[in-house]
Amino acid sequence: MEWWRRDGTVGVKMEEHMRPQLTAWAVHLFTACGAVIGVWCLVAIHRGDYRGAFFGMVLAVVFDAVDGPLARLARVKEVLPQFDGTKLDDIVDYLNYVVVPIVFMYDANLLPASVSALILPFPLLASAYRFCHVSAKTPDHFFTGFPSYWNILAFYYYIGRSPLWFNAAFTLFAATMVLVPIRYIYPSRTQTLRPLTIGLGILWVAVLLILLWQLPDPSPSLIAWSLVYPIYYTALSFALHWRFQSGE
């Protein structure tokens, strides 16, 4: 067989040909591992290990933040055109950003018991619609509609011990905003203030990990400071959307 020729040239060429494909498949496997993390979170919720579930949600966010740059670096669309990595990413994201936190809200009794079963279908359905819409992400790297950050809402409902009526009202409001075509920044890709957004995001995640470590009695002042990044994110998103709408 030519593969075993003494000069090794054919074997080297075959290895060079296969290396990009193996790398691309490895990136897709990395993305798919996010689903394993999601199921692990569901098991932790079932066991009442809420801190562990939140750590899993944070890990899922880290995987989601890393797999995109890895996919672009490995040129997965070019190397494996027969495999839709974007669809895989959407499936994993819907599990981790929608299903897991919604189950958490229900299990942790973060909504009024009398209306919980009526309210929770709204974020599930609204996010399912938005995930499948062609305009969910714009060509210039914005999300359209509230980006289904239900994990963040579940986290603040839980550590902030906010009133159940407030949680119910804000969940319905956020579900509505999923359907409103306002542009929200894509932290790792929107160019405007990108270094600042990423830097603040990393600092914010570090603060969230500290708050998780402090459970069941997190620092109220640290909770308040942690809200700086979500406020910054929302304010910048609305400002850029207004600038886009005004045609500047």
**Residue 92 C-beta-side C-alpha neighbours within 13 Å:** 27
CA 188 to centroid of chain Cα atoms: 11
Residue 142 φ/ψ region, left for φ over 0, alpha for ψ in the -120 to 50 degree band, beta for the rest: beta
pLDDT of residue 11: 53
pLDDT of residue 2: 45
| Cα angle for residues 54, 196, 138 (degrees, 5° grid) | 80
Residue 13: pLDDT band by 50, 70, 90 thresholds?
low
- The pLDDT mean for the chain works out to 92
pLDDT of residue 7: 53
Q: Which of 7-16, 51-60, 116-125, 222-231 has the lowest mean pLDDT?
A: 7-16
pLDDT of residue 246: 82
| Per-residue pLDDT tens over the stretch 60-117 | 999 999 998 999 999 999 999 999 999 999 999 999 999 999 999 999 999 999 999 9
Q: Are 60 and 34 in contact (CB under 8 A)?
A: yes
* Helical pair 164-179 and 121-132, crossing angle rounded to 10 deg: 20
| Per-residue pLDDT tens over the stretch 125-157 | 999 999 999 999 999 999 999 999 999 999 999
Average confidence (pLDDT) over 17-33? 92
pLDDT of residue 181: 95
What is the percentage of the chain residues whose pLDDT exceeds 90? 89
Buried b (16+ CB within 10 A) or exposed e, 46-79: eeeebebbbbbbbbbbebbeebbebbeebebeeb
Going by C-alpha positions, the residue among 80, 217, 198, 201 that lies closest to residue 152 is: 201
Q: Are 192 and 142 in contact (CB under 8 A)?
A: no
CA 70 to centroid of chain Cα atoms: 16
Q: Report domain extents, the chain.
A: 1-108, 109-248
Going by C-alpha positions, the residue among 212, 240, 241 that lies closest to residue 226 is: 212
Residue position matching structure tokens 């919720």: 45
